[in-house]
Amino acid sequence: MGEDLNDIVSIGECMVELYSNTPIEITTNFEKTLGGDAFNLLSMAQRLGSRTGFVTKLGNDTFASFLRKSFLDRKINIDSIASCDGYTGIYFVTLADHGERQFIYYRSKSAASRLTVQDLDSGYLCNTKILHSSGITQAISKSSSLTVTHAFATGKNSGVTISYDPNIRTKLCSLQTARNNFQKVACYIDILLPSQEELLALNKTKSLSTAIDRTTSLGIKTIVIKKGANGCELIHQGQSTCYPAIKGLDINDTTGAGDAFNGAFLHGIAQGMDPTKATQLALIASGLKCRKRGAVDSQPSKNEVYGHYMSQSLN
């Protein structure tokens, strides 16, 4: 491990987000920002003080310049970001009927979906405490899926902790493909970060206890099951503990709450917290994120998260 050791390296796609608070049929203005599960996680962890690195592929358009600058502004290491001819993925977020948000993606054959094993730097992958990726990264292309498997194997063989969020999106791949993608990497995973619905779907069961038993039998040491407003359940070393979500918040937007949870949890683990304390930190970060709109700009500061964490610990 080099002296510039990262705490967390994440593999995946970051896209340009264009947001409007009116329906797309009538809107004339969009606000530009960025987002993507692999990046959102790093953003939250970096806010809390982790050293982070990103593995992705960007096109040669002007949006790529915007993303690179955004990563650097957030002090996310970009030494392992590849480039290619092509375009950077874009998604639109607009307000639909009844106040619901509508997401429209333009990501097919984007630069990030062309990530290959040849784009990986094994030294970079092994020079981190935690290596993370998700089912979304696997789902955007076959080459990206192969890249995740190779990266996980490389990191695992060097003693890196491997983290994975299934993040199932049936618009990107079938549920069976999502299951197959999980099985390809399950043997490498140390930390699994699914929602309750995802864990049930991966195990083809309606019984949470059955899903947990089947997953732990794969050798996965730590599972944190995200349950939205109902908090989460931590399974670690054979022990299961449920934790409530933090109360008394004005919830505005849950977009990216799971990513904020993941980033805060992995930050805690990377900083030497036990899984219980890391879980409590993650619940605070994800809860505070929901007060504002968006996946990234709404993320709370280090002082906000740790201030709430310390006051909770004193009670």
Write down all domains in the chain, each with its CATH number in brackets. Answer: 6-13+37-61+75-83+117-308 (3.40.1190.20)
- Segments in the chain below pLDDT 50: 1-2
Would you state the pLDDT for residue 98? 63
Burial zone of 118 (CB within 10 Å; 0-12 exposed, 13-18 middle, 19+ buried): exposed
Q: pTM of the prediction? A: 0.95
- Tokens 């280090």 locate to 302
Instruction: State how far the Cα of 12 lies from the Cα of 110, in Å rounded to an integer.
Output: 12
pLDDT digits (tens, 9 = 90+) for 132-143: 999 999 999 999
Would you state the pLDDT for residue 99? 60
**Can you read off the two tokens belonging to residue 121?**
């730097």
Instruction: State how far the Cα of 285 lies from the Cα of 307, in Å rounded to an integer.
Output: 11
Q: Please give the C-alpha separations between residue 208 and each of 202, 214, 233, 271, in angstroms, as whole numbers.
A: 11, 10, 11, 30
DSSP β-ladder status, 161-165 and 128-134? parallel
Neighbouring CB atoms inside 10 A of 187's CB total: 14
Would you state the pLDDT for residue 312? 78
CA-closest candidate to residue 2, choices 128, 152, 159, 162 = 128
